[in-house]
Structures are given as C-alpha cells and as structure tokens.
Amino acid sequence: MKVWPIFKKEMLLYFSSPVAYAVITLFLLIVGYFFYLYFVSFTLMSMQAAMNPGLARDLNVTDGIVRPLFANIVSIIVLFMMPMLTMRLFAEERKSGTIELLLTYPVRDGAVLIAKYLAALALYAIMLALTLLYPVTIAYFARLEWGPLFSGYLGLLLMGGAFLAVGLLASSLTENQIVAAFATFVVLLIFWVIGWSADYTGGLAGRVLSHLSLVDHFESFSKGVIDSRDVIYYVDFMVLALCLTRRSLEARRWKG
C-alpha cells in the first residue's frame, strides 16, 4: 500500500498552513497554564507540610501535579482539539473535488485512510511530546515517578487515537469542515459523559454504560496502571471507527 507518499503530503499540508501551529500553540499554552496552577498549589502545600510533618506523608508530585493534569485537564483539552485536527482531512477534499481524483488513483482506499489517520496521529503525538517539558521541570525540583507518567502518556495516546478515528469518520461524511468538527465533538461528548449515567443506572445497564465511557477507561492509566481491557477498548474503538470510514469511502467510490 502506498501509504508513505500520502502521509508525507498530509504532514506537509498540516505544517504549510497555520492550523498545526495554532493548535499546538493553543494546546501548550492551556496545558502550561494549568500545569503552573498545579505546580504553585503543590509548592504551597509543600511549604505547609514543612511546618506540619503530618501532612507530608501523603504529599507527592504524582498525585499533586501529574495525575490531575492528565485526568482533569489534558484529556478534556484533547476533546476540544481533536476535531480541529481531523475536520479537513476528507471534508476539504470532498469540497474541492480532489477526493474523486484521489480515489481514482491506483491506491487502495485503505492506504488513503491509514495515511491520513497516521498523519493526524503523528501531529497529536508531537503535541504530547512537547508537553514532556512539564514533567522534566518537575523532575528537576522533586522526585518523579516515571511509571505513572509513562502510563498516563500511553493512555492519552490511545484516547487521542480513538478521538481521531471518530473525527476521520465525520470528515468522510461531509464536505463542510465546520460540520465535521461539530459532529466529531458531539459524538465524542456523548461517549465522554455516558459514564456519568452509569452512576445512576446500576445493574447490567450501568456496567454497559461504564464500559462504553471513554473517561472510565482512562482512569487506570492516570493511576499508573496499564489494564489490557482498557487498551483493547481503545484499539477496538479505533478499528470500528476506521472500518466505518472505509465503508464511507467505498460507498463514495461506487457512487462515482
């Protein structure tokens, strides 16, 4: 499959327009702002613990900074950022008419799909890699547990990959980038909040809703635990969304 040429083209399109730079800059600024708040709060608690040793027993940078940054901030920011990365991937090609030209090339639909998905995933991975500056800063001042940090980043990568797959599907169904971004956000928001209903449902229905929740499967990663069930959930989510996207492309090919 001729994935590499299409992948390079998509990466060039990202960085030849202000979209990638704007998304990365906004992402780092927002994450940096919340990191600063958590860091200052942890510093103040450390000063109080110095005067009251009893408080120091439960005080560590993983629980005080890293875990809340991952669980409460970064994952929420990703929910808003992912639609911006995927909204143009197929919608722009459909609007300009180049999608028909692309699909008539001697390239399989799967190659086009994988190349575009990997390009978006690579850009997202770059965004995450740039945030490593924050834990490196923590490690300079305090002892950092690298295990929970690694599992947290792995969870964010898997969650982001699932988000991107949904965004790619939405982009393949419309030629309007705004509609694609909005549809992606709505679908992701449903899977984001569905776990809240599980708390009030209970029983088998509650367990099903909890299993479908994107957030519930990320919690173990933020705690430093890599559960195979959570990994399988995110992988299955990606595969299903990408398979539906391929069906969408095949349907368009047959329509001509």
Q: Which residues contact 237 (CB under 8 A, 6 or more apart)?
A: 162, 165, 214
pLDDT value of position 96:
65
Q: What is the pLDDT of residues 130-143, one digit of tens each?
A: 999 888 888 887 78
pLDDT value of position 185:
93
Please return the burial class of 32, using the count of CB atoms within 10 Å of its CB with bins 0-12, 13-18 and 19+: middle
Is residue 159 within 8 A of residue 234, CB to CB? The reply is yes
Q: What is the pLDDT of residues 3-20, one digit of tens each?
A: 888 899 889 988 988 888
Q: Which residues contact 223 (CB under 8 A, 6 or more apart)?
A: 67, 148, 151
Confidence of residue 119 (pLDDT cuts 50, 70, 90): very high
Better-scored residue on pLDDT, 31 or 197: 31
Is residue 46 within 8 A of residue 59, CB to CB? The reply is yes
Instruction: Say what percent of the chain tops pLDDT 70.
Output: 86
For the chain, domain boundaries: 3-255
163 pLDDT more than 90: yes
The average confidence (pLDDT) of the chain is 84
Confidence of residue 105 (pLDDT cuts 50, 70, 90): low
pLDDT value of position 230:
93
156 pLDDT more than 70: yes
Instruction: Say what percent of the chain tops pLDDT 90.
Output: 32
120 pLDDT more than 90: yes
pLDDT value of position 5:
85
pLDDT value of position 104:
57
Q: What is the pLDDT of residues 205-232, one digit of tens each?
A: 777 777 888 888 888 888 888 999 999 9
90 pLDDT more than 70: yes
33 pLDDT more than 70: yes
254 pLDDT more than 60: no
pLDDT value of position 234:
95
